[in-house]
């Protein structure tokens, strides 16, 4: 398997260069001023009190090498919802003793498999978009930190936060822990309701709780558990019952995530239009890889319709249309349509750095329509709130169908 860097050259600086981000690293300001350039640290003036991250001069007057992060790696940089990213931090300078260094990983969203050590893995959250993961390295009185932006299929319309300040590290770690504990508590509460099936009322509540439990298991990346839950739900309905469709859609998503491709495509076809946007997208990728191009185009179109902020299906659809010989103006029109979902600068950076979209980038440049790309549009926030379901374990009014 190719590394993420080989598949997506330049992706590591995708956001840092394209959006002009700057991060405070230890005692100096590190600014990415161009492709391929490394952060440059400000040096403390002579006689000044050493700042965090800057090693003091030795008694002989020779300054020791400053502690610095040489490379922060992530493989891959682009993952689906619930996907896994392997992270590594290479450090040099300081005393040179690896055992003397302390590593602290933080993430505002998603889940870190461990928070210490030079390597870890990050499980992407259920929200597509750009997500930030950072590492703090300490040795003695010195510290350096760096962040990386990871792409979970498509960026959300929420504004990207500035790189973490010193006070944000603790807050981000606490937020991650709180989210994890809340999810675990909800899973436990739903499981308790599902397990109680003594009376008919209990069994009805268990049915609805199991549907919520399956969806939450899917969101939390517990795909084997979600698959078992959806199979139990499907077992409670006849094959001809249309109420099976949402459960088939959930089962298809779990199968996609588990890599059971043939089963996933079969269940996906049974679920039809009830499939989740991500399932349509996964199906499109598999169908395209198998040479079923018309079916892949249809799946990408359904994914884009199911989630109006899901731009990747449109990019895949446009690239596939080009390969099939469709007119370039028609394909470029799709890019213009997709631009409010990505944002102009982010879309241009994506096309310029992702080899799979090189032909699209060339077609856009030749069309002269790059100036028509739009900035990202905000999500409408004044929509009515959906009714809230009863809390697990509490009595609910059960409406029986005649």
SS (H, E, C) 255-314: HHHCCCHHHHHHHHHHHHHHCCHHHHHHHHHHHHHCCCHHHHHHHHHHHHHHCCCCCHHH
Q: CA 303, CA 277: separation in Å to the nearest integer?
A: 4
Q: Is 291 left (phi over 0), alpha (psi -120 to 50) or beta?
A: left
Summarize the confidence of residues 114-138 as an average pLDDT. Answer: 84
Query: Among residues 329, 353, 324, which one has the least CA distance to residue 9?
Result: 353
Phi and psi (nearest 5°) for 133? -125, 140
Q: CA 89, CA 375: separation in Å to the nearest integer?
A: 34
Residue 141 inside a domain? The answer is yes
Q: What's the pLDDT score for residue 387?
A: 57
Q: CA 402, CA 400: separation in Å to the nearest integer?
A: 6
Tokens of 10: 């330049």
What is the CATH number for 91? Answer: 2.60.40.10
Lowest average pLDDT, out of 9-23, 57-71, 136-150, 164-178, goes to 9-23
Indicate the number of domains in the chain. 1
Residue 399 inside a domain? The answer is no
Residue 15 inside a domain? The answer is yes
Between 392 and 15, name the one with better pLDDT. 392
- 46 pLDDT above the threshold of 70: no
Contact 152, 125 (CB under 8 A): yes
Residue 363 inside a domain? The answer is no
Q: CA 60, CA 289: separation in Å to the nearest integer?
A: 63
Residue 391 inside a domain? The answer is no
Q: What ranges make up the beta strands (E) of 32-179?
A: 68-75, 78-79, 84-92, 102-107, 111-112, 119-123, 129-139, 142-152
Residue 289 inside a domain? The answer is no
DSSP letter for each residue of 227-241? HHHHHHHHTTS-TT-
Q: What's the pLDDT score for residue 4?
A: 37
Tokens of 210: 């199991």
How many distinct helices (H) and strands (E) make up the chain? 13, 10
Give the confidence band of 249 by pLDDT, cuts at 50, 70, 90. very high
- 158 pLDDT above the threshold of 70: no
- Calculate the average pLDDT of the chain: 74
pLDDT digits (tens, 9 = 90+) for 329-388: 998 988 888 788 777 877 887 788 778 788 888 999 899 998 888 887 665 445 455 556
Q: What's the pLDDT score for residue 248?
A: 94
Residue 322 inside a domain? The answer is no
Q: What's the pLDDT score for residue 228?
A: 95
- 390 pLDDT above the threshold of 70: no
Q: What's the pLDDT score for residue 173?
A: 65
- 28 pLDDT above the threshold of 50: no
Between 205 and 306, name the one with better pLDDT. 205
Q: What's the pLDDT score for residue 352?
A: 80
Tokens of 152: 């979970």
- 153 pLDDT above the threshold of 50: yes
Residue 336 inside a domain? The answer is no
> What are 205's strand-pairing partners?
none
pTM for this prediction:
0.53
Q: What's the pLDDT score for residue 111?
A: 84
pLDDT digits (tens, 9 = 90+) for 109-122: 788 888 888 999 99
Contact 284, 261 (CB under 8 A): no
| 3-state secondary structure (DSSP) of residue 128 | coil
- By residue range, what is the domain housing residue 74? 4-41+62-164
């Amino acid at each position: 398997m190719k590394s993420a860097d080989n598949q997506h050259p330049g992706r590591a600086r995708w956001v840092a260069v394209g959006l002009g981000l700057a991060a405070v690293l230890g005692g100096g300001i590190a600014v990415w001023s161009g492709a391929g350039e490394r952060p440059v640290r400000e040096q403390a003036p002579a006689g000044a009190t050493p700042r965090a991250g800057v090693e003091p001069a030795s008694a002989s007057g020779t300054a020791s090498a400053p502690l610095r992060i040489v490379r922060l790696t992530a493989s891959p940089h682009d993952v689906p919802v619930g996907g896994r990213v392997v992270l590594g931090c290479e450090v040099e300078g300081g005393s040179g003793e690896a055992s003397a260094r302390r590593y602290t990983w933080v993430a505002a969203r998603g889940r870190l498999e461990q928070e210490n050590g030079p390597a870890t893995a990050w499980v992407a959250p259920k929200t597509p978009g750009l997500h930030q993961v950072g590492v703090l390295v300490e040795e003695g009185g010195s510290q350096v930190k760096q962040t990386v932006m990871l792409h979970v299929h498509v960026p959300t319309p929420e504004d990207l936060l500035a790189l973490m300040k010193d006070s944000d590290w603790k807050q981000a770690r606490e937020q991650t822990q709180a989210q994890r504990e809340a999810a675990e508590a909800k899973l436990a509460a739903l499981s308790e309701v599902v397990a109680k099936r003594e009376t008919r009322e209990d069994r009805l509540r268990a049915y609805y709780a199991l549907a919520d439990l399956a969806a939450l298991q899917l969101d939390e990346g517990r795909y084997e558990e979600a698959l078992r839950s959806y199979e139990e739900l499907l077992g409670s309905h006849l094959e001809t019952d249309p109420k099976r469709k949402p459960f088939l859609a959930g089962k298809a998503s779990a199968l996609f995530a588990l890599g059971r491709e043939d089963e996933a495509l079969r269940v996906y076809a049974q679920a039809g239009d009830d499939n989740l946007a991500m399932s349509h997208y996964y199906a499109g990728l598999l169908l395209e890889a198998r040479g079923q191009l018309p079916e892949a185009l249809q799946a990408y179109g359904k994914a884009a319709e199911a989630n109006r902020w899901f731009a990747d299906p449109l990019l895949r659809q446009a690239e596939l249309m080009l390969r099939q010989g469709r007119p370039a103006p028609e394909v470029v029109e799709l890019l213009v349509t997709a631009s409010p979902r990505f944002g102009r600068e982010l879309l241009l950076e994506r096309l310029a750095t992702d080899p799979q979209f090189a032909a699209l980038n060339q077609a856009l440049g030749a069309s002269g329509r790059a100036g028509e790309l739009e900035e990202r549009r905000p999500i409408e926030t004044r929509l009515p709130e959906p009714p809230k379901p009863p809390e697990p374990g509490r009595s609910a009014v059960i409406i029986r169908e005649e």
